[in-house]
Structure 1
Amino acid sequence: MSRSSGMLKGTPALLLVFLALSLAVFAVFAKPASSRQQSSLGERAQAGAVISTDRQVYLAGETINVFGSGFSPYERVGLRVTHANGNTEANMGHEMWWANADLDGTFKAAWTMNSGDSAGTGFIIEAEGSSGSSTRAAFARGAAITTDRPSYDSGEKTWITARGFNPGERVNIAVQDGRNRAPLNRLADENGQVRTEVELPAEKQAAGFVTIQATATESGVMSSLTIPSFFTVLDQQGANDVPYQSDLTQMGRDDSDPSYYQIFWSWDSIDMWTGNGQTGDACALFDSDGDSNINYAVCGQIINLNGNPNLVVQTTGSPFAFLCNNKRPDRCGNPVPKGYVSSGASPDIQAGPLPGSTATPPGNLITDTDPFGPTAPLGPGSNYPYDATLYMKIKKAFLPPNSIFAATIIRSTASLPRLAASSSLRRWPMQTRLQQPTSLSR
């Protein structure tokens, strides 16, 4: 009995020991499993975390809008902007600040570039989530140049305004025309702007363009502007008068080369073709037999590559050429694709950025050429001062002799054969003033 009683007395102690050992063993196995799970979640969050900015280049004093996604729901995210070279000056906004992700793991934030920040033109914004997720994005400080007119004749003088510099810093303004002229030296005013008169070269440039570049000696900020020596036609109804996808601000032609038609189209927007299947389209119509009906059409097509609102390129296959049935004066009737030589020493059709464009990466069609500023009718233009500009060079020998460039038609998100054949499009005759847009119904 005493032995039995002793055994019963020891049972609770043994059970406690057993439970303790069991918990210990469970803890040994459970803890690493929890750690692996936590690590896996952190890796997934880090791999999915992304931040971006609404533009790639900003002027001093402008606000950078930041967008984050892929974070954990309600995660607290620390944000910091530094120079790409690692510099972080005091009192220039380089301290960390915080944002909270929403239920879907996204957040919005903003940072203003200080006009006195001069430690470098490249910037990095880093985002660090409380779960360990991290990501970064890059942007840059730049400048902008505008002129008092959209185009000029050889030898004329142009007034330019360059902005985005540090107040009081010296700015070198150079005309890049191959003559190696000494640059003009000007001081930026209290608002970081420079306004001066520049003389354009007397001889006509082979490319049909002159580039003016403004470079600050202290901050290193630089901007350039390509001025076409084209015959340029502005949209007489002003900015934003039709849907942005099909709103041209200007178009032009240069007849200086006897062997080529040279034309360009400038769309008012740079970010309207981010969706699946959305494109900007324009066609040049040609009459080859003098009866005012259209015999040929050459078309270009643009898109925001991979939905990037800061990158406009041609679609695969652009440009396109079509034969027409010579029955309509305002469209390409029954368009049939026409082949052409696209490479080699003398291609039939070439299309891409304006010659002399400094946009990056190569092939980017965004230009600092919007002629409609804040004081223009219905202005400023969409994405001012930027346009999307497609330049096209068409060999005259590709078309029958005496062909006439009759008109341009534009449209967004339409198949090119339908575009070339459509009558319900905006038509820009090259011999007359711009007309009001017709109905966009299909």
Structure 2
Amino acid sequence: MSRRILTSSLIGVLLALVPWGSSSFLAQESSGTAASVVTDKTGYLAGETVSIAGTGFAAEELVTLQVKHADGGDEPGAGHDPFAVWTDAAGSFISTWEVGDDTEGHSFHLLVSGAATGPLPSVAFGRIATVGTDKYDYQPGETAIISGAGFRPGEVVAIQVEHANGNDDGAGHLPFEVLAGPDGGIVTTWHVDPDDSEESIFRLTSTGAETGLVATSTFTDLLVTVIDDDGPDDEPGQKDLTKMSSDPGLTAIAITWNSDDTDFGNLGGNTGDACALVDTDADGDANYSFCVVTDGNPATQVSNRLYTCNDTRSDRCAGPTLVGSFTSTSSASVVANSDPFGAHPNHVDGNDCDNDSDCLTADTVATVTLQLSDVGGASAKLINVCSYPSQEPNSDPSDCVVTPDSGFLTIVKVASPDDGTAFVFNLGAGQTSQNGTDEWTINGSGSVQSISFAPGTSYDLSETIPLGWDLDSASCAIQTAPATPTGTSNVTPNAATGGVDTFEIRSGLETICTFNDTQDLTEVNGRIIVEKQTDPDNDPTSFEFDPSWSGTNFFLSDGQDNDSGYTLTPGTFSVSEIVPSGWDSTSNCVSSNGDSETAANISLQTGETVTCTFTNTKQGSITIIKDVDPEPDETDFSFTTSASLNEPSNTFSLDDDADGTLLNTKVFSNLAAGTTYT
């Protein structure tokens, strides 16, 4: 008989001698090390292999293992029969067990009993499913590719994408179904609809119809995110937080935070304990704290709690009182590509995760739907997320995303027009935010939100005004209730910079500084105006013009004009008229700079306006009629003209009878007005 394979009869004898589940004692080796058994993870997909490792047993000891459902079930043929292993000379062993795709339950207990050591406490693990997206953050209008694993082959899986703040009025938030493939995997897509997606936190849920397996994940759309002030790996293990975000809704606030660790080991050991601190009376201190506990490998949410606080601290829930009943919810999962420091050169500590290649890019993301009815109404605002030892929200925080007691600065840019021009903002000399940044860029209208700062009363913020723009106003206000203006505006016409001096940042509160700019193209471009005049006045004829600065011709009638506006880059331009038959045309160009310009050669300078007036004079005609008295008379009469009438030989003849060989009328057309003819 092999030393690692027992007959079923011997196993039965062993189980009868050492009852399963008894944990009244743990045998120890002479070295004093207690026997223990662990699995390599706490959650497995169907078909994955559970790696089981034991240490601290007696040398060459027979150890019996059995995997049962958490409710004690062990249906035949599903791998639940006892099996045995022998320890090596060091009292250690390694074994495996494969997770099936049955539907009898997803929570398992590994029962362990050593022939000499006796029974050990059971080891808990479970079958899981996973779901996620190909990116963590999307632009409105993009397509999210959703993939999942761990379901039964051919199983119907319901997919739903919801706003974590409960605002699901837009498109695409109803559940839809997909079929799992032969490997239990799913792949589908979801349109990130611009109608309601921007600056949103989304909770993705997949639910198997047969297995009942539920997997969740989180992704965002252009979300405003606060990155850890102290950078990557500032705290070890489960203490390290990397970022936080919030998405206020009509009835709830969505809050997310990231833990750098994705593997908390076997259930019941070290856990990830972090709390969101919420201010509801705009004084910068915490009135409520919502805490989420994560555990396992891969990490998942195991519990959440809500506390009221005594409103005296911004870095913890001072005087916490546990709220017994609330409707707010939370979830947590390992999310690929969610680590904000994934590409940071100093992020080398490598959090623990199932897939080592993803350890520097994946985080455990906790997502909270904090119902406003649980925290006193719509004034609730996230001020920080901190991790705490031993799940105690009133203790000294281990790590906070925002440096404790900081305030926040939000820079708002209003640009008219909103054309994407880059506006650069700088703090005063020697001033920085908590993470050391002192310069920000906003393209067009937009904002940089929730930058953390040490409290102070003498901050300066200036804008470098782009060429062709005017800074109309700049002001700051602390977001108290009501808002408190702060700082002195420093805006002067035609200046290169402008902003607000000596504004205040208060602990736990946000100061919003708003800059309004208007484009002034006279500083960079030139302008050409084409005017039309006719003689006689008010003639309705439409005249066509061909401008060199445009690929499209335009038409003008008497009294009309075409204005390019200040859109033309300085350079050489021309404009010509397509003159219709029966008209004469002249042009005259006048420069605002006093330059000499012609329609055929306009040398346009910065800020210059050139006005070209085209005058069209309608041409005339002369009609000569021969009449004699008495009539009829067949005499031919000879006439002599001036050269300007362009008559060959300057002579012609008429008679009165118009006999077919000679006319009695002569017409000279297209004659220039104002000219004397004979």
Task: State the TM bucket, normalised to the shorter chain.
Answer: 0.5 to 0.7
Residue 382 of structure 1 pairs with residue 352 of structure 2: yes
The residue number in structure 1 matching 2:41 is: 55
Query: Is the 1:253–1:261 Cα contact (8 Å) retained in structure 2?
Result: yes
Aligned equivalents of 1:227, 1:390: Cα separation in 2: 7
Q: Deviations over 1:315-355 (max 9, x none)?
A: 7xx52423238xxxxx469x853779x467xx6xx65523x
Matched AA of 2:277: A
Matched AA of 1:251: M
Q: Deviations over 1:253-303 (max 9, x none)?
A: 22122x544423342336289679x873434264855xxx72445334455
The 1:238–1:170 alpha-carbon spacing in structure 2 relative to 1, beyond 3 Å, is farther
Aligned equivalents of 2:189, 2:401: Cα separation in 1: 43
Aligned partner of residue 245 in structure 1, secondary structure: helix
Aligned partner of residue 408 in structure 1, secondary structure: strand
Residue 195 of structure 1 pairs with residue 187 of structure 2: yes
Query: Is the 1:294–1:332 Cα contact (8 Å) retained in structure 2?
Result: no
Q: Which of 276, 282, 285 is matched with 2:275 structurally?
A: 282
- Write out aligned runs for 1:108-127 (5 A): 108-111=93-96, 113=98, 118=101, 122=106, 125-127=110-112
Aligned equivalents of 2:241, 2:146: Cα separation in 1: 23
The 1:431–1:85 alpha-carbon spacing in structure 2 relative to 1, beyond 3 Å, is farther
Q: Which of 175, 185, 189 is matched with 2:179 structurally?
A: 185
The residue number in structure 2 matching 1:367 is: 333
Q: How far off is 1:159 after superposition?
A: 0.6
Aligned equivalents of 1:196, 1:130: Cα separation in 2: 51
- Write out aligned runs for 1:10-49 (5 A): 47=23, 48=25
Q: Deviations over 1:168-225 (max 9, x none)?
A: x435442237987551336357xx65433134689879x97554316497xx594522
Aligned equivalents of 2:149, 2:226: Cα separation in 1: 24
The residue number in structure 2 matching 1:158 is: 144
Residue 98 of structure 1 pairs with residue 85 of structure 2: yes
Aligned equivalents of 1:184, 1:148: Cα separation in 2: 17
Matched AA of 1:367: S
The residue number in structure 1 matching 2:135 is: 149
Query: Is the 2:241–2:257 Cα contact (8 Å) retained in structure 1?
Result: yes
Aligned equivalents of 1:98, 1:422: Cα separation in 2: 43
Q: Deviations over 1:373-408 (max 9, x none)?
A: 8x943597534667262626263896798x573631
The residue number in structure 2 matching 1:247 is: 240
The 1:41–1:418 alpha-carbon spacing in structure 2 relative to 1, beyond 3 Å, is same
Aligned equivalents of 1:85, 1:234: Cα separation in 2: 50
The farther-off stretch of 77-86 and 138-147 is 77-86
The 1:110–1:61 alpha-carbon spacing in structure 2 relative to 1, beyond 3 Å, is farther
Considering only aligned residues, what root-mean-square deviation do their CA atoms show, in Å?
5.7
Aligned partner of residue 310 in structure 2, secondary structure: strand
Query: Is the 1:368–1:387 Cα contact (8 Å) retained in structure 2?
Result: yes
Query: Is the 1:77–1:101 Cα contact (8 Å) retained in structure 2?
Result: no
The residue number in structure 1 matching 2:386 is: 410
The farther-off stretch of 39-48 and 55-64 is 39-48
Which runs of 5 or more residues in structure 1 are unaligned?
A: 1-38, 326-330, 355-365
Aligned equivalents of 1:304, 1:198: Cα separation in 2: 28
The 1:370–1:280 alpha-carbon spacing in structure 2 relative to 1, beyond 3 Å, is farther
Matched AA of 2:114: G
Q: How far off is 1:58 after superposition?
A: 0.6
Q: How far off is 1:413 after superposition?
A: 2.3
Aligned partner of residue 196 in structure 1, secondary structure: strand
Matched AA of 1:75: E
Residue 233 of structure 1 pairs with residue 225 of structure 2: yes
The number of equivalent residue pairs is 354
The 1:141–1:254 alpha-carbon spacing in structure 2 relative to 1, beyond 3 Å, is same
Query: Is the 2:292–2:304 Cα contact (8 Å) retained in structure 1?
Result: yes
The residue number in structure 2 matching 1:265 is: 257
Aligned partner of residue 238 in structure 2, secondary structure: helix
Aligned equivalents of 1:180, 1:399: Cα separation in 2: 29
Matched AA of 1:113: E
The residue number in structure 1 matching 2:538 is: none
The residue number in structure 2 matching 1:224 is: 215
Matched AA of 2:87: N
The residue number in structure 2 matching 1:358 is: none
Residue 324 of structure 1 pairs with residue 317 of structure 2: no
Aligned equivalents of 1:74, 1:203: Cα separation in 2: 67
Aligned equivalents of 2:252, 2:214: Cα separation in 1: 30
Aligned equivalents of 2:352, 2:395: Cα separation in 1: 27
The 1:238–1:286 alpha-carbon spacing in structure 2 relative to 1, beyond 3 Å, is same
The 1:186–1:275 alpha-carbon spacing in structure 2 relative to 1, beyond 3 Å, is closer
Query: Is the 1:248–1:268 Cα contact (8 Å) retained in structure 2?
Result: yes
Q: Which of 160, 172, 194 is matched with 1:176 structurally?
A: 160
The 1:209–1:295 alpha-carbon spacing in structure 2 relative to 1, beyond 3 Å, is same
Aligned equivalents of 1:137, 1:424: Cα separation in 2: 34
Aligned equivalents of 1:351, 1:63: Cα separation in 2: 36
Query: Is the 2:50–2:97 Cα contact (8 Å) retained in structure 1?
Result: yes
The 1:386–1:82 alpha-carbon spacing in structure 2 relative to 1, beyond 3 Å, is farther
Q: Deviations over 1:155-174 (max 9, x none)?
A: 864211223468xx435442
The 1:224–1:74 alpha-carbon spacing in structure 2 relative to 1, beyond 3 Å, is same
Structure number with higher helix proportion: 1
The 1:41–1:216 alpha-carbon spacing in structure 2 relative to 1, beyond 3 Å, is closer
Aligned partner of residue 319 in structure 1, secondary structure: strand
Query: Is the 1:232–1:252 Cα contact (8 Å) retained in structure 2?
Result: yes
Query: Is the 1:225–1:368 Cα contact (8 Å) retained in structure 2?
Result: no
Aligned equivalents of 2:214, 2:59: Cα separation in 1: 41
Q: Which of 57, 64, 82 is matched with 2:50 structurally?
A: 64
Structure number with higher strand proportion: 2
Which runs of 5 or more residues in structure 2 are unaligned?
A: 1-14, 27-35, 163-172, 355-361, 412-432, 437-451, 453-678
Aligned equivalents of 1:303, 1:212: Cα separation in 2: 20
Aligned equivalents of 1:213, 1:175: Cα separation in 2: 5
Question: What TM-score do the two structures reach when normalised by structure 1?
Answer: 0.56
Query: Is the 1:211–1:227 Cα contact (8 Å) retained in structure 2?
Result: yes
- Write out aligned runs for 1:290-309 (5 A): 294-301=284-291
**Bigger relative CO (Cα 8 Å, ≥ 6 apart):** 1
Aligned equivalents of 2:82, 2:398: Cα separation in 1: 57
Query: Is the 2:64–2:82 Cα contact (8 Å) retained in structure 1?
Result: no
Aligned partner of residue 86 in structure 1, secondary structure: coil
Q: Deviations over 1:398-439 (max 9, x none)?
A: 6798x573631424328644547999964698766996499x
% identity of equivalent residues: 16
Matched AA of 1:99: W
Aligned equivalents of 2:142, 2:41: Cα separation in 1: 34
Query: Is the 1:171–1:214 Cα contact (8 Å) retained in structure 2?
Result: no
Residue 256 of structure 1 pairs with residue 249 of structure 2: yes
Query: Is the 2:132–2:147 Cα contact (8 Å) retained in structure 1?
Result: yes
The 1:250–1:97 alpha-carbon spacing in structure 2 relative to 1, beyond 3 Å, is farther
The residue number in structure 2 matching 1:213 is: 206
